[in-house]
Amino acid sequence: MGASSNAKGDIGMSSKGESFTNGVDMDIDDSDYDDEHDYSTSLNDLGEGLLMNFCKEAATSFFVEYGLISHQINSYNDFIKNGIQRVFSSFGEIVVEPGYDPSKKGDNEWRYALVKFGKVTLGRPSFWGGSDNDKEYNMLPRHARLQNMTYCAKMKVNITVEVYNQRLVSSDKFKTGKERFLDKEILSTDTRDITVGSVPVMVKSDLCWMRDVEKGDCDFDHGGYFIIKGAEKTFIAQEQSCLKKLLITNNQGLTVAYRSEVKRHRLIIRLVGISKLENIEGVEKVLTVYFMSTEIPVWVWFFALGVSSDKEVIDLIDYGSEDASILNILFASIRDADKATEKVDGGFRRGKNALKYVDDVIKKTAFPPGESMEECISLYLFPNLRGLKQKARFLGYMVKSLLQASAGRRKCDNRDDFRNKRLDLAGELLERELKAHIGHARRRMAKALQRDLYGDRVVRPIEHYLDASIVTNGISRAFSTGAWCHPFKKMERMSGVVATVGRANPLQTMIDMRKTRQQVQYTGKVGDARYPHPSHWGKVCFLSTPDGENCGLVKNLATTTIVSTNILESLLPELSLCGMEKLVDDTSTSLQGKFKVFLNGDWVGVCEDSLSFVSELRRMRRRKKLPPQVEIKRDEKQGEVRVYSDAGRILRPLLVVENLNKIKALKGEKHPFKYFLNKGIIELIGAEEEEDCSTAWGIKYLFMEEKGKSAVKYTHCELDMSFLLGLSCSIIPFANHDHARRVLYQAQKHSAQAIGFSTTNPNLRVDTLSHQLHYPQRPLFQTMTSDCLGKPGHQLGKNRVLPKPELYNGQNAIVAVNVHLGFNQEDSIVMNRASLERGMFRSEHIRSYKAEVDNKHSLEKRRKPDDCVNFGKMQSKFGRVDNLDEDGFPYVGANLQSGDIIIGRCSESGADHSIKLKHTERGMVQKVVLSSNDDGKNFAVVSMRQVRSPCLGDKFSSMHGQKGVLGFLESQENFPFTVQGIVPDIVINPHAFPSRQTPGQLLEAALGKGIASGGSKKYATPFSTLSVDDIAEQLHRAGFSRCGKERVYNGGTGKMARSLIFMGPTFYQRLIHMSEDKVKFRNTGPVHPLTRQPVADRKRFGGIKFGEMERDCLIAHGASANLHERLFTLSDSSQVYICQKCEHVANVIQRSVEGGRKIRGPYCRNCNSADDLVKANVPYGAKLLCQELFSMGISLKFETRFS
């Protein structure tokens, strides 16, 4: 269940009946863990070089095992294996009672139906071929993309329907204890597999056909997304509060909450202030329990759970110190309970009075439960604990936690801490959405079935009542709109869950699938939610986050981060083997001095020696007797050991320092990542356990410890510091030398906007807009991330690794830092015209136009000829059709210009419905696709290709956030050149560096110059980069100046320039922002029908926005006539007639004059005269305002003067 087809293993998700060892038995000597080793000797024997190489090998095997998007695929695989069945099993049986029927004459004719969901089976994606033999074919992802279909699989459920009668039957009271009972007479039973809908299939998941193929559609496609109606959608991991832990907060008073998705399971204990006794001022704090919409004193709950005395309650709370303030709270809580139950006969401590009091209070709520109080407590109060005494112990633990927080001995929980968070991925999100739609279909089924339970009606098979389209359309609608079910509020939906996969380049695609999002109530000020938290270290990138309203809320996972999946196997036997005692079901046994053991938030036992217990658990995990994803935390201050095996925890691999001596046994052999986990050399650490670790930032820090330069005793070590960053940050050379804002620009914006080679299967895709760079290159430098993700064994030399080609999208250009004729001021750059003519930064711009018509089956239902639209060629009034064939489509290779018709459509009535080429678009037709989808539509796609060389105004950027637009194209002979005859490709302004603080680009250019000259030092990995002295030395050995500057000669005169120019190869990216897509020009054109002003939007040939500040500029330049022409003459020039007598606006009407003639002209209705009228030129907007005010009863007067 890895991220690629060759990753066979999953990350710790085990099913029932399978051992954690996956059938592999490795002999590990227990003495390896128990003996005392001289680790200083072993580290020195291994050497720093060997350990660095091992870290690289381990990181490479990690990416082979898990890939970059395994968290998406593993979560979905868990959903199809266990989650879907869990959804249907959660509904249980539904009993359908007959409605009221006045025609019934007897009691025996009432019929009931019992519907029960059974086993769920999922097919694989398929589609109907259209023939009469109902044959279905395998649907591949490319079929769904090309045909605008949803890549989904049918979901079948075994449903049992039982129809029966009920009647009252007399019985022997001495034998049964009842005089009468309900006898159930079964009339019919039907069990069958029914299709209840379709569920979208994630590409490269276990259900996908591309999972098992040797070569997929695209080499850059790693799956992890869905195809919904031809569009690629992916989930953004949602940060949700962890429900497995108690939450102690102090927002509106001190509270401790036991939380659950089910509302009836939630319990809150709050420290509230009440008035003191009479004649005593002030308030006293008491403990109150909020459960099932009731407010009951905590002392009453203890006695309702079977506690017999106040001392026993104090012992259960086990606070441990006689603090006066705590004792006051406890005594006040006792008095509060006595006061609340003063009407109870005998007090709440006698017998079951407390339970009866709780029952009376809960029954008075608006929606009381139907079960008895004993059943309510068993089902709803701490449902994972069985006995009443265990529930009382847990209640006491909650009270103790609250009292410790009140006394300052325990901190309140931080909601932004990753210890208190879980990530909801595809499995959890789909499970929640599917549950909502199945519940809807179930209610509809019950209503439809109820009608046929009347007297003479026949109960038909269940598929007539269960509408499968509810589930299919509901999930499809959620993907299309992005509105997803809220985890707690049933009536609300939240946005930001689903995103369309970006395809500008493969790096953007992978970044989109590694995002996380924190949902907040509003996007304004949300407290500390936007700020980095110490628990983010190593789990999410602390640099890359979007700007604007989502700043700090949308994050990116760190490079080596994985997300845990649910472990189904019970861990209780392993915990017992390590020394845990199970939690006793009584309240008399004292647990003082013992550590509590929690498994996924549930109190399962206690242990005497917590240190040895935790050590033994970790040893078992390192011996693969426990899954590697199990997280173990020893909290000495609170006296707790917390073990987690649930889904959604962020884990990352760390080296175990005490087991590094086992690297000797590897002897340079290649091993999978699971081997290192099973040997205990590497382990997966979560947010809770990381607090117990002392982690070195790198191998060199371990040797600093050996030499006595560090006083810290390290237990773990990072594989590489660059893995703390996100994927897009960790491949930036010398990122630690740049200003963080510039690194953020590159990681978040420019890396996603850079034009690369987005896919290796462009012939099988019809994206609306895509760009492809003709000659993409890899950079000269190398980074740890690109090497570990790359392809080893390349022919470039021994142990050389070809970096993953899709990570870098750009070309290596010779960049000079110089001023060139003033054309590269500010952010402008000057480029070499000859370099561009040789093909540098040349790209393809591919635009697809889509149109659809109804097919024959849907046309038969329509009768109006205007509704029947088909593809075809006809003479159009608003575009040229010279390049169209008779079928309405252009031929491949047709050269289309702005204003041409690209797809011809017409109705039978002759109306023109053709698709016109957008304004400023042009190009050659590359392909024409004609197909149909599953909505009964025939559609056509025409892709148009345009080759674009860089032109003035195009945007470029280095990998250090140094963006700039092309300001001038200079001929090569006019550029300065070096002694070797090297001419720069790009000249940038030296003022770009001091203010933006990006010396990393200078270091990259200096390092690249040394590498191009045959240097051996190539790494520019963040946090472990070469020193400036090493780079300078490498330049010096290659015959260059140590500072990277060179003597240049003027291209125009041939004279040597006085100043030295810094020059070197730098990796530059061409961004998707091109001037050809943004140029806007217009004289006259379409106008808005109401205001008669030019329409907006460049694609509709609209006007240019000209605001107040632009108006001021033209006035300042003395161009008032131009301003008048732009804003009046060519905009909404109009004329009105004004009466000079009454100063009102005269109307142009048709009226009768003497002689019976009718004339049309201006006429003042107020004066009833056509004399003394003058014509004035006004904007139509002013005329419209005057007319609208007149309709409101407001008449305007205009003073006129002749100019």
Among candidate residues 664, 684, 708, the one where a domain is terminated: 664
Distance CA 720, CA 547 (A): 28
Coil, helix or strand at residue 1104: coil
CB contact at 8 A, 703 and 95 = no
* Structure-token pair, residue 1166: 């107020």
The CA-atom distances, in angstroms, between 527 and each of 257, 532, 547 are 21, 12, 17
d(CA 865, CA 906): 11
Q: How far apart are CA 990 and CA 1182, in angstroms?
A: 52
Task: Indicate whether 609 belongs to any domain.
Answer: yes
985 and 1031 fall within a common domain: yes
Burial degree of 1028 (CB within 10 A; 0-12, 13-18, 19+): middle
Domain termination site, one of 622, 639, 664 = 664
Residue 44 lies in a domain: yes
Q: Does residue 963 share a domain with residue 824? A: yes
Q: Evaluate whether residue 1008 is within a structural domain.
A: yes
Contact 298, 236 (CB under 8 A): no
Query: Could you tell me if 835 and 785 lie in one domain?
Result: yes
Tell whether 735 and 599 lie within a shared domain: no
608 vs 588 pLDDT, higher one: 608
Say what the pLDDT of residue 182 is: 72
Q: Using one digit for the tens of pLDDT, what is the confidence trace for 763-797?
A: 888 998 999 999 999 999 999 999 898 766 544 44
Which pTM does this prediction carry? Answer: 0.88
Q: Which domain holds residue 651?
A: 31-66+561-664
What pLDDT shows up at residue 713?
87
User: Has residue 865 been placed in a domain?
Assistant: yes
Any domain includes 615 = yes
With contact defined as beta carbons under 8 Å apart, do 565 and 13 qualify? yes
Record the tokens describing residue 405, joined without a space: 């927080």
184: Cβ–Cβ under 8 A, 6 or more apart, which residues? Answer: 164, 165, 166
Produce one character per residue of 597-631: b if its CB has 16 or more CB atoms within 10 Å, e if not. Answer: bbbbbebbbbbeebeebbebbbbbbbbbbbbbbbb
Q: Are residues 1089 and 1104 in the same domain?
A: yes
Residue 1203 in domain = no
CATH number for the domain spanning 356: value is: 3.90.1110.10
Residue-level pLDDT at 349? 85
Q: What is the CATH number of the domain that holds 1159?
A: 3.90.1800.10
Which are the contacts of 347, defined by CB distance < 8 A and separation ≥ 6? 338, 341, 353
What is the rounded (10 degree) CA torsion for 472, 473, 474, 480?
Answer: 120
Whether residue 1125 is found in the same domain as residue 1149: no
Encode 248-281 in three state secondary structure: EECCCCCEEEECCCCHHHCEEEEEEEEECCCCCC
User: If DSSP codes are grouped into helix, strand and coil, which group holds residue 999?
Assistant: helix
Last residue of a domain, one of 1075, 1090, 1115: 1075
What's the CATH code of the domain at 895?
A: 2.40.50.150
Q: Is residue 565 part of a domain?
A: yes
Are 828 and 858 members of one domain? no
Q: Which helix (H) or strand (E) holds 298?
A: helix 298-304
Q: What is the pLDDT of residues 331-352, one digit of tens each?
A: 989 988 888 888 887 788 888 8
Q: What is the pLDDT of residue 872?
A: 87
Q: What is the pLDDT of residues 470-499, one digit of tens each?
A: 999 999 999 999 899 988 887 888 888 999
pLDDT in tens, 195-243: 999 999 999 999 999 988 888 888 888 999 999 998 999 999 999 999 9
The CATH number for 640's domain is 3.90.1070.20
Q: What is the pLDDT of residue 736?
A: 92
Count the alpha carbons within 13 Å of 662 in the hemisphere toward its beta carbon: 19
Is 843:948 a contact under the CB 8 Å cutoff?
yes
Closest alpha carbon to 1132 in 1108, 1154, 1106: 1106
Ramachandran area for residue 976 (φ above 0: left; ψ -120 to 50: alpha; else beta): beta
Give the mean model confidence (pLDDT) for residues 687-692: 92
Q: Are residues 480 and 616 in the same domain?
A: no
Q: CA–CA separation, 806 vs 772, rounded Å?
A: 12
Contact status, residue 269 vs residue 289, Cβ threshold 8 Å: yes
- Going by DSSP bridges, is the β-strand pair 682-685/977-978 parallel, antiparallel, or unpaired? unpaired
Query: CB of 1049 within 8 A of CB of 983?
Result: no
Question: In 10 A of CB 593, how many CB atoms?
Answer: 10
> Which residues, 6+ apart, have CB-to-CB distance to 691 below 8 Å?
633
User: What tens digit of pLDDT does each residue of 53-106 get?
Assistant: 899 999 999 999 998 999 999 999 999 999 999 999 998 888 888 876 555 554
| Number of domains forming the structure of the chain | 7
Q: Using the 8-state DSSP alphabet, how is residue 805 labeled?
A: G
Out of 162-166, 283-287, 395-399, 525-529, least confident range: 525-529
Q: How far is CA 490 from each of CA 240, 426, 709, rounded to the nearest angstrom? A: 16, 19, 58
Q: Within this chain, do residues 944 and 979 fall inside the same structural domain, yes or no? A: no
Rg (CA), the chain: 38
Residue 906 pLDDT grade (very low, low, confident, very high; cuts 50, 70, 90) = confident
Q: What is the mean pLDDT of residues 927-955?
A: 90
User: Mean per-residue pLDDT for 587-608?
Assistant: 88
CATH code of 1060's domain = 2.40.270.10
Averaged confidence pLDDT in the chain? 86
Q: Does 838 lie in the same domain as 961?
A: yes
Q: Indicate if 142 and 80 belong to the same structural domain.
A: yes
Residue 562: exposure state from Cβ atoms within 10 A (0-12, 13-18, ≥19): buried
Task: Give, for 633, the enclosing helix (H) or strand (E).
Answer: strand 631-635
Residue 668 pLDDT class (50, 70, 90 cuts): confident
Residue 687 domain-assigned (yes or no): no
The residue type found at 673 is F
pLDDT, tens only, 512-564: 999 999 988 765 566 678 888 999 999 999 999 998 888 889 999 999 999 99
Could you tell me how far CA 1063 lies from the centroid of its own chain?
41
Task: Please tell me whether residues 305 and 386 are part of one structural domain.
Answer: yes
Which one is predicted more confidently, 176 or 1170?
1170
Instruction: Tell me what the mean pLDDT of segment 650-676 comes to.
Output: 88
Q: What's the pLDDT band for 669 if we cut at 50, 70, 90? A: confident
Cβ neighbours of 412 (radius 10 Å) = 14
Residues ≥6 apart with Cβ < 8 Å to 967: 823, 824, 825, 828, 829, 830, 952
